[in-house]
Chains A and B, each alone.
Chain A
Amino acid sequence: MFIIPKEKEVPLGCITPAPVTEQTMMITGNWREYRPVIDQEKCNLCMNCIVYCPDACWQLNEAEDEVVWNAKYCKGCLICVNECTTEALSKAYELDFEDGVVRLEKPF
């Protein structure tokens, strides 16, 4: 899982590994009932979805100049849909998608 050098060994639980970009041990994508769907034509990059997402699931792709959604962790709170200034975001029922409701191999 993770390796601690022998000389720095401490009782398990005292020190936990820090994540870098995401915490893969707590995947929350299967919580949601509805998912936000973006219409890139209408999006004017106002950044509201990026700033207001509590789970940091919207990120700006600087190269493509568009916002990218993170399906793995989005809990489906839909704050982004509520705060979108241009109505580029809309909600869609999760089961309507082929990859809808992410089933985890191992439940928590």
Chain B
Amino acid sequence: MAVAVKTQNLPLIKKIRNIPREEYYVPGHRTCAGCGPALQYKLVAKAAGPNTIFLGPTGCMYVANASYLCTPYRVPWMHTQITNGGAVASGVEAAYQVLIRKGKREGELPNVIVMAGDGGSVDIGLQAMSAMMYRNHDALFVCYDNEAYANTGIQTSPTTPYGANTTFTPPGPAIPEGKKLFPKDPPQLVIGGHPAVKYVATASVAYPVDLMNKVRKALNVQGPTFLHIHAPCPKGWKFNESKTVEIAKLAIQTGMWILYEWENGEYKYQHKPREYKPVREYMKLQGRFAHLQEAHIAKMQAFVDAKLKAPGIPVAVPAPPPRAQA
């Protein structure tokens, strides 16, 4: 049985000036002003190019974009239920494999990209995503992480950070910190449990060249790949919409978000700050953390410190200790 082999080799981008000009996620969509997920969608679509099929599990990037009869996608796109983004990607990829094997389609296997939110990938959609990784389908699963179920009114999700004020975790006299639980770690979930996966990376909208290179690397790999993209949500995190990129940068500078890629069992880190800022600087800009007391911020700092030294993530150069609390 002949299996369609990917021959494409999308070139990596060296400078911000060399970013391709063509848009595949065009203006004219209903996302909020300053939307982080829309920004990452634009960059992923630019990096992937014309030979792409997007699958949209229910989430902001389906609900706010695909209003009736008007979608902003220039490439083929299909809606899937929030539970089965990975399953539909498996089916689309398998169908193209058969079409190419039977000689009914000429050319390259299309890039199948699932654009799932944090709920569609590690909460409700976890089983389909895991099954796609397990069955070794040639697709890219993108989890754009805005840390809440934003399109239904900012409910808590498993990646919502500790202490966030959401509709389901309002702070009150009984629970002063809002959310009590610490978030899941999606890339480690994929790396740890799926031997077929070759490439996993985290990215952020603050570093677009890095993000687009990771998308292209993931699409060049034969087999399932996973990308976890940090996408600030002005409405859900309650900050001014002009600060989307600034907040994303601060997340990396404080250690709340770590940029790394995992390829063939090896970790590589990108844009690692020389010295980490205290998490307070990241949290004070966001309204969802406005109710927190000193003890809660100290607990968050301890969690971030432990994550930066976690044994699961081998650090090539040991991370410098975070600056002491002011």
Which A residues are within 8 Å of any B CB, using their own CB? Answer: 13, 16-28, 31-32, 45-48, 50-57, 59-60, 62, 70, 72-73, 75-79, 81-83
B70 touches A16 (CB 8 A): yes
**A26 B67 Cβ-Cβ under 8 A:** yes
Q: Would A28 and B28 be within 8 Å (CB), given that A19-B71, A79-B242, A82-B245 are in contact? A: yes
Minimum distance in angstroms from A51 CB to a CB of chain B: 5
Residues of chain B lying within 8 A (CB to CB) of residue A13: 68-69
A28 touches B30 (CB 8 A): yes
Find out whether the CB atom of B241 lies under 8 angstroms from the CB atom of A27. Answer: no
Given known A19-B71, A21-B26, A54-B42, contact A77–B242 (CB-CB < 8 A):
yes
B74 interface neighbour in A19, A27, A60, A62, Cβ under 8 Å:
A19
Stretch of B13-21, B84-92, B276-284 that contacts chain A: B13-21
In the complex formed, the residue of B with least CB distance to A73 is: B27
Asked if A77 contacts B241 (CB within 8 A), the reply is yes
A73 neighbours in B (Cβ, 8 Å): 27-28
| The residue from A27, A77, A78 contacting B28, defined by CB atoms under 8 A apart | A27
Given contacts A26-B70, A28-B28, A77-B34, contact A21 B23 (CB under 8 A): yes
A residues near B72, Cβ cutoff 8 Å: 19, 23, 26
Contacts of A79 in B (CB 8 A): 34, 39, 241-242, 244-245
A16/B16 contact (C-beta < 8 A), A23-B26, A27-B28 known: no
Residues of A within 8 Å of B246, CB to CB, are 82-83
Say yes or no: B26 contacts A20, CB within 8 Å: yes
Is A59 in contact with B21, judged by CB distance below 8 angstroms?
A: yes
Q: Which residues on the B side are within 8 Å of A52 (C-beta)?
A: 39, 205, 208, 245
Contacts of B19 in A (CB 8 A): 47, 50-51
Pair B28/A23 contact, Cβ less than 8 Å: yes
CB-defined A-B contacts under 8 Å, sample of 27:
A17-B69, A18-B77, A19-B28, A20-B26, A21-B23, A23-B27, A23-B29, A23-B70, A23-B72, A25-B70, A26-B30, A26-B72, A32-B33, A47-B16, A47-B17, A51-B19, A54-B31, A54-B34, A54-B35, A54-B39, A54-B244, A56-B23, A56-B25, A62-B21, A77-B35, A78-B241, A79-B241
Query: 1/0 contact trace for B42-59 toward A, CB 8 Å?
Result: 110000000000000000
Which 6 A-B pairs rank lowest in CB-CB distance, beginning with the nearest? A23-B28, A77-B34, A73-B27, A25-B70, A77-B33, A75-B33
**For residue A76, which residues in chain B have a CB less than 8 angstroms away from its CB?**
33
Q: How far is the CA of A52 from the CA of B211 in the complex (A)?
A: 12
**8 extra A-B contacts, CB within 8 A, seeds A21-B23, A26-B29:** A13-B68, A17-B69, A19-B71, A19-B74, A25-B70, A47-B16, A52-B39, A54-B31
CA distance A70 to B69 in the complex (A): 23
Contacts of B38 in A (CB 8 A): 54-55
Interface residue B271 (Cβ < 8 Å from any Cβ of A) = no
A22–B26 CB distance below 8 A: yes
Cβ-based interface call for B105 (8 A): no
Q: With CB as the reference atom, state the residue of chain A lying closest to B21.
A: A60
With A and B bound together, what is the CA distance between A31 and B245 in angstroms? 21
User: B73: CB under 8 A from chain A?
Assistant: yes
Query: Which residues on the B side are within 8 Å of A56 (C-beta)?
Result: 23, 25-27, 42
**Cα separation A46 to B68 with both chains bound (whole Å):** 37
Residues of A within 8 A of B16 (CB): 46-48, 51
A22 is contacted by which of B28, B43, B66, B244 (Cβ under 8 Å)?
A: B28
User: Which B residues between 157 and 216 are near A, CB-CB below 8 angstroms?
Assistant: 205, 208
CA distance A22 to B73 in the complex (A): 9
Bound: A79/B77 CA distance, A:
27
Q: Hey, which chain A residues are within 8 Å of B26, CB to CB?
A: 19-23, 56
Q: Which residues of A contact B76 (CB under 8 A)?
A: 18
Bound together, the chains give a CA A22 to CA B74 distance in angstroms of 9
